[in-house]
């Protein structure tokens, strides 16, 4: 409702630059070329009243008393007229700030990123053209990691860079990002979010491994990073069609686990998920597709990634927070879509040859679910029920496999086998009445696809279907042989 002016003009305001853009021949109607404008105004997140400004005609000012007095702290030696595109007050020290400046509109394509540690009294240029960012690559934005001091992210006219030593050295951080101007960067929720000029917005999920990447880790033969808290949320939809060009690409749901291998090991590597007591929940390997891992990106209704990557370098693996699913076949004893893990404490263990490392993992429920009154006790009850139904699905699948094998073999008991099959298997005819295997599988899907209290009808239905399966297994045993 009311505003108070707290500064003088904080721009250079050079003479002869304040006329309408394009004059005296043709006026620019867009207003885009307005000169002597503040492009960045940022208050320190560490100390209230410390405010930095940067103008598009080259000046940097700071106030330490909430605007009562201002000081011109433009880096000495910086030629006039450049655009102070971005100022980043450090989230760790009140006197520290970073500035990204570009001058290519004046024909100077050099990179200009500066750091001050004393409120602008002295500046250090972090881009000399020889420490990772090329001498002809203009710089648009710089940000400091809010968790790890001195971890910097820079966006330039041609892509992304990262520095682990407060700007002493830079290295490309392009990954699958197009080579395009990176116009701004934001760090939020443990992720890195950036905008580009004409190539969409991008998010790099989970900066945990970068924050943990110390020189000791870089020099180690193998390393398992501490995973971030995993949110037990639903699977992602297919909105947007196929491919990045058709719509957004969503990350796989689950626990993102990072690990590093200096060189590719001769043998296979293994990743175990353990509960708080150390009991094995699920195991993944680089050797072959683990049960429930036949492709896909994970998620509440999907399947976990099939194999661990054991090539040299840093890797990410997503556990979809599910236990192994029901028995599917002799070659697939553990299927996909197992019961979801109950929120709580878990462990992840990486094994490479004789080397092993274990890190803690916390699983939390989606806050949108807990807001509806779904407690951990409710989810534990659901888990216990789903594990019982999973066992029932395994049993009916095993019986179905025996029946199909007997049908293929024929023989004197063909009629008796057919009588069992008629009660067990749904005919492949449209609108056929579902038989026992499909009914049990349907019950499993019903209680395994949403986070909610198990209804009494599901418990009763489980008892009915279990009794029917017990009876059918007893009838089948003399015909098919083997134990139930």
Only one residue has tokens 């009915």, namely 464
Distance in angstroms (rounded) separating the CA atoms of residues 384 and 38 = 60
Look at residue 326 in the predicted model and tell me its pLDDT.
96
Distance in angstroms (rounded) separating the CA atoms of residues 273 and 453 = 26
Look at residue 203 in the predicted model and tell me its pLDDT.
95
Kindly tell me if the per-residue pLDDT of 302 is higher than 80: no
With bands split at pLDDT 50, 70 and 90, how would you rate the model's confidence at 300? very low
- Number of neighbours of residue 249 by Cβ within 10 angstroms: 13
pLDDT digits (tens, 9 = 90+) for 326-348: 999 988 898 888 999 999 999 99
Looking at every residue in the chain, the average pLDDT score rounds to: 90
Q: Which residue has the higher pLDDT, 237 or 308?
A: 308
Lowest model confidence (mean pLDDT) among 23-32, 214-223, 279-288, 464-473: 23-32
| DSSP string over 294-360 | SSS--SSSS---S----SSEEEEEEE-SB------BTTBSS-S--PBPPSEEEEEEEEETTEEEEEE
State the burial class of residue 405 (Cβ atoms within 10 Å of its Cβ: 0-12, 13-18, 19+): exposed
Secondary structure (3-state) at 207: coil
Q: In what order do the strands lie in the sheet with 152-156?
A: 139-144, 152-156, 160-163, 171-172
Average pLDDT of the segment spanning 25-42: 80
CA 116 to chain centre: 32
Average pLDDT of the segment spanning 455-483: 92
Nearest to 73 by CA among 54, 88, 90, 57: 54
Lowest model confidence (mean pLDDT) among 99-108, 409-418, 429-438, 447-456: 409-418
Average pLDDT of the segment spanning 26-52: 86
pLDDT digits (tens, 9 = 90+) for 419-446: 999 999 999 888 889 999 999 999 999 9
Tokens of 427: 């005919």
pLDDT digits (tens, 9 = 90+) for 356-393: 999 999 999 988 888 888 899 999 999 999 999 999 99
Q: What does R_g of the chain's alpha carbons equal in angstroms?
A: 31
Q: Which residue has the higher pLDDT, 167 or 296?
A: 167
Asked if residues 440 and 448 have their Cβ atoms less than 8 Å apart, the reply is no
Instruction: Work out the end-to-end distance of the chain between its first and last CA atoms, rounded to an integer number of angstroms.
Output: 78
With bands split at pLDDT 50, 70 and 90, how would you rate the model's confidence at 315? very high
Look at residue 296 in the predicted model and tell me its pLDDT.
33
pTM of the predicted protein model:
0.83
Phi and psi, residue 249, nearest 5°: -105, 120
Distance in angstroms (rounded) separating the CA atoms of residues 457 and 461 = 6
Look at residue 182 in the predicted model and tell me its pLDDT.
98
Distance in angstroms (rounded) separating the CA atoms of residues 430 and 363 = 42
pLDDT digits (tens, 9 = 90+) for 395-408: 999 999 999 999 98
Pairing assessment for the beta strands 97-103 and 83-89 based on DSSP bridges: antiparallel
Phi and psi, residue 47, nearest 5°: -135, 115
C-alpha distances in Å from residue 387, one per residue of 390, 407, 433: 5, 30, 26
Look at residue 460 in the predicted model and tell me its pLDDT.
97
Kindly tell me if the per-residue pLDDT of 292 is higher than 80: no
Please tell me whether the peptide bond between 24 and the residue prior to it is cis, using omega within 30 degrees of 0.
Answer: yes
Tokens of 431: 């609108």
DSSP state of 474: H
- Number of neighbours of residue 404 by Cβ within 10 angstroms: 14
Look at residue 411 in the predicted model and tell me its pLDDT.
75
Average pLDDT of the segment spanning 83-92: 97
CA 82 to chain centre: 37
With bands split at pLDDT 50, 70 and 90, how would you rate the model's confidence at 239? very low
Look at residue 253 in the predicted model and tell me its pLDDT.
84
Q: What percent of the chain has pLDDT over 90?
A: 78
Phi and psi, residue 464, nearest 5°: -65, -45
């Amino acid at each position: 409702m009311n505003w108070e002016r707290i500064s003088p003009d904080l721009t250079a305001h050079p003479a002869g630059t304040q006329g309408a853009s394009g004059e005296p021949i043709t006026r620019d109607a867009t207003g885009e070329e307005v000169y002597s404008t503040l492009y960045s105004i940022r208050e320190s997140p560490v100390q209230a009243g410390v405010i930095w400004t940067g103008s598009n005609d080259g000046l940097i000012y700071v106030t330490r008393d909430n605007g009562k007095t201002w000081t011109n702290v433009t880096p000495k030696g910086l030629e006039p007229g450049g655009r102070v595109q971005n100022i980043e007050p450090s989230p760790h020290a009140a006197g520290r700030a970073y500035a990204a400046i570009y001058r290519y509109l004046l024909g100077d394509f050099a990179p200009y990123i500066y750091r001050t540690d004393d409120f602008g009294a002295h500046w250090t240029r972090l881009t000399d053209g020889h420490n990772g960012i090329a001498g002809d690559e203009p710089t648009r934005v710089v940000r400091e990691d809010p968790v790890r001091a001195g971890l910097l992210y820079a966006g330039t006219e041609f892509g992304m860079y990262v520095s682990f030593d407060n700007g002493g050295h830079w290295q490309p951080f392009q990954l699958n990002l197009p080579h395009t101007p990176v116009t701004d960067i934001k760090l939020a929720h443990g992720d890195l979010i950036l905008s580009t000029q004409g190539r969409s917005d991008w998010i790099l999920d989970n900066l945990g491994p970068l924050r943990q990447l110390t020189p000791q880790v870089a020099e180690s033969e193998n390393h398992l990073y501490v995973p971030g808290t995993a949110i037990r949320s639903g699977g992602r939809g297919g909105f947007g069609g196929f491919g990045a060009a058709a719509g957004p690409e969503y990350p796989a749901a689950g626990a993102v686990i990072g690990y590093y291998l200096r060189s590719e090991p001769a043998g296979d590597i293994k990743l175990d998920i353990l509960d708080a007591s150390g009991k094995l929940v699920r195991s993944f390997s680089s050797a072959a597709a683990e049960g429930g891992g036949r492709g896909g990106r994970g998620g509440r209704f999907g399947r976990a990634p099939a194999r661990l990557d054991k090539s040299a370098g840093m890797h990410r693996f997503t556990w979809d927070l599910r236990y192994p699913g029901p028995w599917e076949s002799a070659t697939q004893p553990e299927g996909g879509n197992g019961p979801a893990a109950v929120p709580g404490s878990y462990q992840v263990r990486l094994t490479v040859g004789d080397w092993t490392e274990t890190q803690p993992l916390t699983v939390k429920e989606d806050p949108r679910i807990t807001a509806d009154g779904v407690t951990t006790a409710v989810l534990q009850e659901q888990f216990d029920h789903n594990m019982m139904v999973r066992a029932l699905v395994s049993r009916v699948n095993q019986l179905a496999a025996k029946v199909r094998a007997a049908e293929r073999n024929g023989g004197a008991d063909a009629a008796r086998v057919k009588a069992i099959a008629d009660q067990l298997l749904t005919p492949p005819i449209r609108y056929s009445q579902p038989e026992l295997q499909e009914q049990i599988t349907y019950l499993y899907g019903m209680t395994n696809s949403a986070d909610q209290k198990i209804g009494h009808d599901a418990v009763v239905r489980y008892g009915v279907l279990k009794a029917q399966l017990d009876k059918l297994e007893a009838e089948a045993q003399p015909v098919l042989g083997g134990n139930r």
